[in-house]
Amino acid sequence: MKLIAGNSNLSLSQSIAEELGIPLTNSTIKRFSDNEIFVEINENIRGEDAFVIQSTSFPANDNLMELLVIIDALRRSSAKRITAVMPYYGYARQDRKTSARSPISAKLVANLITCAGANRVLAMDLHAGQIQGFFDIPTDNLMCSPVFIPDMETQQGRGEDVCIVSPDVGGVVRARAYAKRLGASLAIIDKRREHANVSEVMNVIGDIKGKKCVMVDDIIDTAGTLCNAADALIEKGAAEVHAYVVHGVLSGPAVDRIEKSGLSTLVVSNTIQATDAIKNSSKIRQLSVAPLMAEAIRRIHEDRSISVLFN
């Protein structure tokens, strides 16, 4: 097995390597003066099972291109199998046509990764399940619940005093799964989005009065939806409001909004490398997905089932 780390999230790559007990493959990844990407693998890779760890987070285009170039370098070095390990799959929110002449960029990215030479993909909490079908190669979509649920039980408790909240109608299935595992009740935020990256909370569906509310979602970007939802829950009588979100994009004014919002805590995974603002925030914590991803990589390498990890 060979682990090749892109530059998007070196700390996560190193943690995965430590969990597996193997070093990261010696490679050179640099930029020329015109910002073109150059990759050279400094070890023999012929006949090896190669795993490229690269999130396509900000800057998304640079990190995506770096992933493609690394895959091409491995393919031309005669790697036996190449797995693109993408803790965060960028462009995932562009998974359908939203207007008459708009692209489906998530499908385009899938085509690029396949054409570059990847033999399979391992991702974490894809924004939409149908993205798995965008690939013509095996694609495994891990869930972050094995990381989040133990922390929820420890920090927030379980039972009817806890209410799992979906911040929008589209996340109800995810929220219901968490509520079932924790024996908690379920509530839904009904919101209306008037403009891109601007949301208005309209109503709270469910009994949340006096309960500890825990919102669950897959991506937090500008944090407008989550902060507005937290304020709505408090107005409706929630005792506390916490949030667990897999991918902490947290762009623009997100961290500042969270600090000023009614959220008590926000827990994100480390699929995206934390900025200094996130590390210094009094309300944001990060949980590591390295053990989960390392186990998935180990099972893929050994041709064992990883379906148990989906639970």
* pTM, entire model: 0.91
44-100 per-position pLDDT tens digit: 999 999 999 999 999 999 999 999 999 999 999 999 999 999 999 999 999 999 889
Active site residues: 191
Q: Which amino acid is at 28?
A: T
258-275 per-position pLDDT tens digit: 999 989 999 999 999 999
What domains lie within the chain, and their CATH numbers?
2-143+291-310 (3.40.50.2020), 145-288 (3.40.50.2020)
Contact 116, 75 (CB under 8 A): yes
* Dihedral pair phi/psi, residue 126, rounded to 5°: -60, 145
Q: What does the pLDDT read at residue 19?
A: 97
Residues of the chain with pLDDT under 70: 192-202, 311
Using the Cα atoms of residue 251, residue 282, residue 154 and residue 231 in order, give the sign of their dihedral: negative
